[in-house]
C-alpha cells in the first residue's frame, strides 16, 4: 500500500510540476546533454532554447537574463560548482533519447517514491508495520520534500542515498557484516557524487561510535564505519582536486558574489562579516521560521518524546551526529537551510516521532485493556 501511494504521489507531482524548473536545473540539463555527446556550446544552446520555450524559468523575474548570450557572472560561474555532482545528470542522460529534458524530472520523481519505500524498511527496525507506514507517508508528504519531488535537482536522489546509508549503518552496528559495511560505503560514495554531503554519513557513524559502550562489538563496528566514511571522504576530496571542483572557500566566495549581485542582506559588509551574520541567521532565524511555516511543532514534540525513549540506543548517537553534520553544512552553505538542514534531518525526526507513536499506542492499548477488565469486574463477571 505504501508503495502504491508513493508511486501515485510521485506521478501526480510529475504531472502537476511538469513545467516547473529552477535555476539549477538547466545546468544539470547541460551536463546530461554533454554526457550524450554534445559539446559544451551546443549543450548550452539547446538548454537555453528549451528553458525559454516552455518552463517556469522563462517568466521567473529572479532569473531574467540567465539564459542567453550574456548571463550574469554569478550564474555563468555556478556551473563550475557542479562538476563534482556527475551522477544525477548521468542517470538522466540515459533517459534523454526517449523523454528529452523531462528525463531529469523523472529521475527525481522515481527517487522520491523509492525514498518512501527505503524509509519504510528503515522504520521497521524500530516500530510495527502500521506505524512504519504512517512514518513513511509522513516523509512522503513532508512539505519541503514534496514541493521539490519532481524538480530537476539532485535532492531526491541524494536523499535516497542518504537514507540507504542510514539503513546500512544501523544494520551494520546492530549485526556487523561485510555486506552491510560495503552497502554503507557505497551509499556514502554515491551520495558524495550526487550532492557533496559525505559529512552526513561520516558524522552519523561518529555519533554511533560515541554513543556505544566501550569495548563492545557494536562500538568496534561503528569505528569501522567511521573509517569507511572517512576513506570515502578522502577519495571524494582527491576527486574534487583532480576534477578541478570547488573548494570550501571558492563555494563561499561564489555565494557572496551571488548575494552581492542580488543586493541581499549583509552583502555590502565584506565576505567575513557576510558569512558570520548569514551563519547566525541561518542557525536561528531561518530554522525557527521553517518550523513555524511548515507546522512542524507536533512532529518535533513527538520526536523529542521518541528521542527520550531511545536515548540509550545507538540511533540516538547517530541522530546527534547527523545534527552535528547539518550544523557543519550551515558553515559552508548558510543560504539554504532547507536543503542542508531540514531535508536531511527530517527522516531522523520522523524515526523518533514514530517511536513515540509506538509507545503511545502501546500505552493506549494497555489502558484500554485495563478499562475493559474493570468494566467486566463491575458487571460481576469476575470474582478476583
Query: What's 75-134 look like in SS3?
Result: HHCHHHHHCCCCHHHHHHHHHHHHHCCHHHHHHHHHHHHHHHHHHHHHHCCCCCHHHHHH
Mean pLDDT of 363-381: 60
What's the pLDDT band for 269 if we cut at 50, 70, 90? confident
* pLDDT of 378 higher than 90: no
What's the mean per-residue pLDDT of the chain? 89
Residue 65, sorted as left (phi over 0), alpha (psi -120 to 50) or beta, turns out to be left
CA–CA dist 27, 57 (Å, integer): 13
CA–CA dist 253, 249 (Å, integer): 6
What's the pLDDT band for 375 if we cut at 50, 70, 90? low
What's residue 377's pLDDT? 56
Q: Is this structure's pTM higher than 0.75?
A: yes
In this predicted model, which residue has the larger pLDDT, 298 or 178? 178
* pLDDT of 112 higher than 80: yes
What's the pLDDT band for 381 if we cut at 50, 70, 90? low
Mean pLDDT of 372-376: 55
In this predicted model, which residue has the larger pLDDT, 288 or 21? 21
Q: pLDDT of 250-259, one tens digit each?
A: 888 888 887 8
What's residue 338's pLDDT? 83
What's residue 379's pLDDT? 53
Report domain extents, the chain: 2-363
CA atoms within 13 A on the CB side of 307: 14
Per cent of the chain over pLDDT 90 is: 60
* pLDDT of 118 higher than 90: yes
What's residue 383's pLDDT? 43
Lowest mean pLDDT among 57-61, 103-107, 175-179, 277-281: 277-281
Lowest mean pLDDT among 251-255, 346-350, 374-378: 374-378
Nearest by Cα to 339 from 24, 101, 17, 123 = 24
What's residue 372's pLDDT? 58
Q: Which three cell numbers stand for residue 140?
A: 512522503
What's residue 249's pLDDT? 78
Lowest mean pLDDT among 114-118, 125-129, 169-173, 273-277: 273-277
* pLDDT of 332 higher than 90: no
In this predicted model, which residue has the larger pLDDT, 290 or 246? 246
Q: Which three cell numbers stand for residue 142?
A: 513532508
Amino acid at each position: 500500500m505504501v508503495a502504491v501511494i508513493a508511486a501515485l504521489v510521485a506521478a501526480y507531482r510529475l504531472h502537476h510540476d511538469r513545467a516547473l524548473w529552477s535555476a539549477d536545473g538547466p545546468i544539470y540539463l547541460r551536463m546530461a546533454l554533454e554526457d550524450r555527446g554534445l559539446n559544451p556550446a551546443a549543450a548550452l544552446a539547446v538548454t537555453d532554447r528549451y528553458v525559454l520555450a516552455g518552463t517556469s524559468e522563462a517568466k521567473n523575474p529572479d532569473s531574467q537574463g540567465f539564459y542567453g548570450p550574456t548571463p550574469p557572472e554569478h550564474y555563468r560561474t555556478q556551473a563550475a560548482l557542479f562538476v563534482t555532482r556527475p551522477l544525477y545528470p548521468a542517470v538522466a542522460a540515459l533517459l534523454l533519447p526517449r523523454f528529452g529534458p523531462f528525463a531529469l524530472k523523472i529521475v527525481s520523481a522515481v527517487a522520491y517514491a523509492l525514498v518512501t519505500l527505503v524509509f519504510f524498511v528503515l522504520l521497521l527496525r524500530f516500530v510495527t508495520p502500521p506505524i512504519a507506514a504512517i512514518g513513511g507517508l509522513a516523509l512522503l508528504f513532508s512539505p519541503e520534500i514534496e514541493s521539490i519531488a519532481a524538480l530537476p535537482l539532485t535532492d531526491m536522489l541524494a536523499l535516497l542515498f542518504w537514507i540507504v546509508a542510514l539503513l546500512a549503518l544501523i544494520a551494520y552496528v546492530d549485526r556487523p557484516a561485510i555486506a552491510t559495511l560495503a552497502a554503507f560505503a557505497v551509499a556514502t560514495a554515491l551520495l558524495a557524487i550526487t550532492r557533496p554531503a559525505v559529512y552526513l554519513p561520516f558524522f552519523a557513524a561518529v555519533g554511533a561510535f560515541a554513543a556505544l559502550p566501550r569495548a563492545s562489538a557494536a562500538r568496534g563496528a561503528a569505528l569501522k564505519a567511521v573509517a569507511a566514511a572517512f576513506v570515502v571522504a578522502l577519495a571524494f576530496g582527491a576527486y574534487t582536486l583532480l576534477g578541478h571542483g570547488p573548494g570550501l572557500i571558492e563555494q563561499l566566495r561564489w555565494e557572496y558574489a551571488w548575494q552581492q549581485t542580488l543586493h541581499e542582506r549583509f552583502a555590502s559588509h565584506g565576505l567575513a562579516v557576510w558569512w558570520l551574520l548569514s551563519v547566525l541567521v541561518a542557525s536561528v532565524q531561518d530554522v525557527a521560521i521553517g518550523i513555524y511555516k511548515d507546522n512542524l511543532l507536533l512532529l518535533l514534540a513527538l520526536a523529542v518524546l521518541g528521542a527520550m525513549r531511545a536515548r540509550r540506543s545507538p540511533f540516538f548517537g547517530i541522530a546527534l551526529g547527523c545534527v552535528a553534520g547539518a550544523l557543519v553544512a550551515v558553515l559552508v552553505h548558510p543560504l539554504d537551510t532547507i536543503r542542508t538542514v531540514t531535508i536531511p534531518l527530517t527522516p531522523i525526526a520522523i524515526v523518533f516521532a514514530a517511536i513515540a507513536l509506538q509507545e503511545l499506542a502501546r500505552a493506549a492499548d494497555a489502558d484500554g485493556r485495563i478499562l475493559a477488565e474493570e468494566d467486566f469486574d463491575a458487571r460481576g463477571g469476575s470474582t478476583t
